[in-house]
Amino acid sequence: MCGIVGVFGTPYSFQEVYQGLLLLQHRGQDAAGILSFDFLDKNFHSHKDLGLVSDVFRPEILAGFSGQMSIAHTRYATVGPREKENSPLNSIDLKRDIQPMTINYPHGIGMVHNGNIVNYYELKTYLLEEKRRHLFTNNDLEALLNILSDGLREKVEGKHHFDIFQDAVKSLFDKAKGGFSVLGLLADKGLFAFRDPHGLRPLILGERKLTEEEMAVHPTHFGKSYCLSSESNSLNFLGYDVVRDLAPGEILFIDQTGEIFSSMDYSKKKNIAPKSCMFEWVYFANPESVLEERSVYSARLDFGKNLAGEIQALIESGEIKPDLVVPIPETSRVAAISLSETLKIPYREVLIKNRYIQRSFILNTQASRNRAVQLKLTAIASEIKGKNILLLDDSIVRGTTSKRIIEMVKEAGANEIYFATTCPPIRYPCYYGVDFPDPKELVAADRTVEEVQEYLGATRLIYLSETATKKSIGKESLCMACINGCYPVDIGSAKTFQDMRSLHRE
Ligand SMILES: O=P(O)(O)OC[C@H]1O[C@H](OP(=O)(O)OP(=O)(O)O)[C@H](O)[C@@H]1O
Ligand SMILES: NC(=O)CC[C@H](N)C(=O)O
Ligand SMILES: [Mg+2]
């Protein structure tokens, strides 16, 4: 899903975005990058590479940075080539696609984004044929960067700088179809942010007072630092007070004097409804984050409670008789606590997670996902043997985790295995930032619930209903396209996107 963070106003902006990135690591594990701008030497400073944040940014690399505004990215790729299975890493191609990306004209612009542009391949052709702009990478961010720079190209005398900027972003909204949250730097001018008109991808704003020491070294003395991040956890950690989530379609600019400009009229004028991605609460976001004023932790507790209602009926009818509720670490743990409390069935962490293994779903090949699931969890057979186990996971996407864990719990001697999940069946591709653009990958795409149950090897499979999912998140207007096939943003280009992405998967 990618994590993005930007800071404006403190001489330690690059250190703050680095720390912010560490807190967003769960959103992307492929690559990381930071871009800063120093108002004193008028230069951009940047570094990016493949790997985890702490591997890419060794202390000696960070020591080379300076700048009062910075943006940063941790990548979970949804476009471009990927690591080839059984062959050396194609690092030249992969490195080319890492964010942030820059363009020199006009002004000097640097950008990062979380999301995916469905009509990226069409935009690439448009940019080449209509604008004579060749794209050097396979990342949809480069298309956004070129469209924005094209919109800012004309010098308009007498117009306020924010009006010129918002016009350019609105024209980008007209052209780019997809889900995207963007952060950017305009050399010597300021930091900008915008969210796609439906607000599919998250972005939250925070502010804090500068310390006296920061005030002493900072060239502009407006006394505040601002932070924008994919999740509130990084704002909290860095000592920022949450101001608000950016509105869907909002365009925000913090100029070099620290003044904030914002425009929120695009979505209203076009009658575009907000559609936050439900998968943030189900899987992507960290439990300590609050998105759109809804705590991820509380939503997950409610997933467990509401699922309990559905499971209770099966227990009462005698169809299932669970002895233990067992979470599949990491993400399902919170929901499993409330599931166990509501059902009054003991909660046991009898699948032990290897703390050195990362998230498996966001790895980019099936072989690496299989390997990670294999290494990630070990069962405590003595606690499982002879018992009826109610396993809980947050989601079943490709079925990699659930199939393997059911085998493992069987091998550990379980009697019956029920598998419950805090998300309805995922049957349709996502084109807005989660990397499953092909229905062939989805275990539930062309199977009934009974067929998925049989494929996974569970005695009983229980999905949370769509209504209960919405109720738990506490929002009516969500993007649930992967569940019900109702795509809020035009997916006319989806076939091209899917074909090109499949090419890159080979
Ligand atoms: O059906 P699948 O394709 O396997 O995808 C779903 C699984 O992947 C995720 O776990 P992951 O290991 O990525 O992260 P976690 O440690 O946060 O649970 C998610 O929590 C499910 O367990
Ligand atoms: N998951 C994401 O947000 C991906 C961002 C962008 N499409 C990339 O591949 O780098
Ligand atoms: Mg998991």
Q: Ligand 1 within 6 A of 327 CB? A: no
Return the C-alpha torsion angle 78, 396, 230, 76, nearest 10: -30
**From atom 10 of ligand 2, which residue's Cα is the shortest distance away?**
77
pLDDT value, residue 213: 87
Indicate the DSSP class of residue 30: S
Assess if residue 22 is contained within a domain: yes
* Nearest-5° Cα angle at 83, 78 to 89: 145
Answer whether 0.90 is exceeded by the pTM. Answer: yes
Q: Is the same domain home to 305 and 224?
A: no
How many folded domains does the chain comprise? 2
CA dist., res. 311 & res. 313, Å (int): 5
Pocket test for ligand 2, best of 21, 76, 500 (most atoms within 8 A of CB): 76
H or E element: which one contains 308?
Answer: helix 296-316
Structural domain harbouring 311: 291-487
Q: Is the same domain home to 167 and 98?
A: yes
Give the CA distances from residue 419 to residues 291, 351, 383, 389, in Å, rounded to whole numbers and listed in that order.
28, 14, 17, 8
- List, chain by chain if needed, residues with CB within 6 Å of any ligand 2 atom: 1-2, 75-79, 99, 113-116, 139-141, 433
Strand order in 224-229's β-sheet?
43-50, 31-38, 69-75, 3-8, 224-229, 204-209, 241-245
Q: Is the same domain home to 417 and 444?
A: yes
Ligand in closest contact with the CA of 395: 1
pLDDT value, residue 94: 87
CA dist., res. 185 & res. 99, Å (int): 13
Assess if residue 493 is contained within a domain: no
Assess if residue 347 is contained within a domain: yes
CA dist., res. 257 & res. 9, Å (int): 9
Say if CB 111 and CB 148 are below 8 A apart.
Answer: yes
| Token pair listed for 387 | 């018992």
Residues belonging to the binding site are: 277, 331, 393-394, 430, 479, 482
Assess if residue 502 is contained within a domain: no
Q: Which of 176, 169, 172, 175 is nearest to 117 (CA)?
A: 176
| Token pair listed for 505 | 């998967």
* Nearest-5° Cα angle at 464, 461 to 468: 160
Say if CB 46 and CB 110 are below 8 A apart.
Answer: yes
Count the Cβ atoms, other than its own, within 10 Å of residue 354.
Answer: 12
| 2 in active site | yes
Q: Is the same domain home to 257 and 303?
A: no
Say if CB 111 and CB 183 are below 8 A apart.
Answer: yes
Q: pLDDT (tens digit, 9 = 90+) per residue, 178-234?
A: 999 999 999 999 999 999 999 999 999 999 999 888 888 775 657 899 999 999 999
CA dist., res. 336 & res. 378, Å (int): 18
CA dist., res. 88 & res. 207, Å (int): 44
Name residue, tokens 């919109």: 151
Atom from ligand 2 closest to the CA of residue 27: 1
Q: Is the same domain home to 248 and 350?
A: no
CATH number of the CATH domain containing 441: 3.40.50.2020
CATH number of the CATH domain containing 167: 3.60.20.10
Q: Is the same domain home to 197 and 311?
A: no
Q: Is the same domain home to 320 and 241?
A: no
Q: Is the same domain home to 135 and 33?
A: yes
**Residue 186: half-sphere exposure toward Cβ, Cα within 13 Å:** 19
Say if CB 247 and CB 272 are below 8 A apart.
Answer: no
Beta-bridged to residue 242, according to DSSP, are 206
| Token pair listed for 70 | 């910075």
Q: Which residues of 191-223 are buried (b: 16+ CB within 10 A; e: fewer)?
A: bbbbbbbbbbbbbbbbbbebeeebeeebeeeee
In this prediction the ipTM stands at: 0.98
Q: Is the same domain home to 427 and 301?
A: yes
Assess if residue 166 is contained within a domain: yes
Q: Is the same domain home to 137 and 90?
A: yes
Q: Ligand 1 within 6 A of 418 CB? A: no
Burial of residue 113 (CB within 10 Å: 0-12, 13-18, 19+) is buried
**From atom 9 of ligand 2, which residue's Cα is the shortest distance away?**
77
| Token pair listed for 16 | 């703050």
pLDDT value, residue 85: 57
pLDDT < 50: residue spans in the chain: none
Assess if residue 500 is contained within a domain: no
Ligand in closest contact with the CA of 284: 1
Q: Is the same domain home to 116 and 155?
A: yes
Say if CB 364 and CB 77 are below 8 A apart.
Answer: yes
Residues for the chain: how many in total? 506
Q: Is the same domain home to 49 and 178?
A: yes
Assess if residue 71 is contained within a domain: yes
Q: pLDDT (tens digit, 9 = 90+) per residue, 93-121?
A: 789 999 999 999 999 999 999 999 999 99
Q: Which of 350, 359, 308, 305 is nearest to 330 (CA)?
A: 359
Say if CB 231 and CB 204 are below 8 A apart.
Answer: yes
Last residue of a domain, one of 224, 249, 275: 275
pLDDT value, residue 87: 52
Assess if residue 358 is contained within a domain: yes
Q: Ligand 1 within 6 A of 338 CB? A: no
Count the Cβ atoms, other than its own, within 10 Å of residue 506.
Answer: 8
| Token pair listed for 151 | 């919109």
Indicate the DSSP class of residue 211: P
Query: How far does residue 376's CA lie from ligand 1's centre (Å)?
Result: 11
Residues belonging to the binding site for Mg(2+) are: 331, 393-394
